[in-house]
A and B are shown apart, each in its own frame.
Chain A
Amino acid sequence: MTLIVDDVSVRIGGRDLVRQVSLEVAEGEMLGLAGPNGAGKSTLLRTLYRSRKPTSGRVLLDGEDVWHMPSGWVARRLAAVLQETGGDFELSVYDVVAMGRTPHKRAFDGDNAADKAIIADALERLDVAGLAHAPFDRLSGGEKQRVLIARALAQRPTTMVLDEPTNHLDLRHQLDALNLVRGLGVTAVVALHDLNMAAAFCDRICVMDAGQVVALGTPADVLTPALLAEVYRVDAEVALHPETGVPQVTLRTGGSRVTN
Chain B
Amino acid sequence: MSELTAGAVLPARRPGLPYPVVIGLLVLLLGGAVTAAIAAGSVALPAGQVWGILLHHLHPALADPTWTAVRETIVMDVRLPRVFLAGLIGAGLSVCGMALQALVRNPLADPMLLGVSSGASVGAVTVVVFGLTLFGAFSLPIAAFLGALAALVAVYFLARSGGRMTTVRLVLAGVAMAEVLSAVASFLVVTSNDPHKTQAAVRWMLGGLAGTTWTMVWIPAAAVLLGTVALLGVSRPLNLLLAGEEAAASLGLDVHRFRAALFVLVAMMIGTIVAVSGSIGFVGLIMPHVVRLLIGADHRRALPATALLGAAFLIVADLVARTLIAPEEIPVGIITALVGGPFFLWLMRRRSQ
Question: Which residues of A come within 8 Å of B, CB atoms?
Answer: 46, 49-51, 71-76, 78-80, 82, 85, 87-92, 94-96, 98-100, 102-103, 105, 107-108, 110, 125-127, 130-134, 140, 142-143, 155, 161, 176
* Extra A-B contacts (8), CB below 8 Å, given A82-B247, A88-B106: A91-B239, A91-B298, A99-B236, A102-B251, A107-B233, A125-B1, A127-B1, A134-B10
Closest to B296 in A: A92
State how many residues of chain B have any CB contact under 8 Å with chain A.
42
Q: How far is the CB of A156 from chain B (nearest CB, A)?
A: 12
Q: How far is the CB of A59 from chain B (nearest CB, A)?
A: 13
Which residues from chain B contact A98 at a C-beta distance below 8 Å?
298
Give the contacts of B63-113 with A (CB-CB under 8 A): 101, 105-107
Closest to A155 in B: B251
Which residues from chain B contact A131 at a C-beta distance below 8 Å?
5, 10
Give the contacts of B269-301 with A (CB-CB under 8 A): 292-293, 296-298, 300
Is A132 within 8 A of B12, CB to CB? yes
Could you tell me the distance between the alpha carbons of A87 and B252 in the complex, rounded to whole angstroms?
Answer: 20
Give the contacts of B157-182 with A (CB-CB under 8 A): none
Could you tell me the distance between the alpha carbons of A96 and B247 in the complex, rounded to whole angstroms?
Answer: 11
Within 8 Å by CB of B5, from A72, A75, A143, lies: A143
Could you tell me the distance between the alpha carbons of A100 and B240 in the complex, rounded to whole angstroms?
Answer: 9
Q: Sample 7 A-B pairs with CB under 8 A, ordered by A number.
A: A46-B246, A87-B243, A89-B105, A91-B297, A92-B14, A99-B251, A102-B237
Is B246 within 8 A of A87, CB to CB? no
Given known A-B contacts A96-B243, A130-B10, A133-B12, A103 and B297 have beta carbons under 8 A apart: no
Is B251 within 8 A of A100, CB to CB? yes
Which residues from chain B contact A80 at a C-beta distance below 8 Å?
246-247, 250
Give the contacts of B12-26 with A (CB-CB under 8 A): 12-15
Is A95 within 8 A of B236, CB to CB? no
Could you tell me the distance between the alpha carbons of A130 and B6 in the complex, rounded to whole angstroms?
Answer: 11
Is A50 within 8 A of B249, CB to CB? yes
Number of A-B residue pairs having CB atoms within 8 Å of each other in the complex? 114
Could you tell me the distance between the alpha carbons of A132 and B101 in the complex, rounded to whole angstroms?
Answer: 24
Which residues from chain B contact A143 at a C-beta distance below 8 Å?
5
Could you tell me the distance between the alpha carbons of A186 and B299 in the complex, rounded to whole angstroms?
Answer: 31
Is A95 within 8 A of B239, CB to CB? yes
Which residues from chain A contact B107 at a C-beta distance below 8 Å?
88-89
Given known A-B contacts A51-B246, A133-B13, A103 and B5 have beta carbons under 8 A apart: no
Is B202 located at the chain interface by the 8 A CB criterion? no
Closest to B229 in A: A108
Could you tell me the distance between the alpha carbons of A108 and B230 in the complex, rounded to whole angstroms?
Answer: 10
Give the contacts of B232-256 with A (CB-CB under 8 A): 232-234, 236-237, 239-240, 242-247, 249-254
Is A50 within 8 A of B240, CB to CB? no
Is B249 within 8 A of A71, CB to CB? yes
Which residues from chain B contact A95 at a C-beta distance below 8 Å?
239, 296-298
Q: How far is the CB of B87 from chain A (nearest CB, A)?
A: 24
Is B43 located at the chain interface by the 8 A CB criterion? no
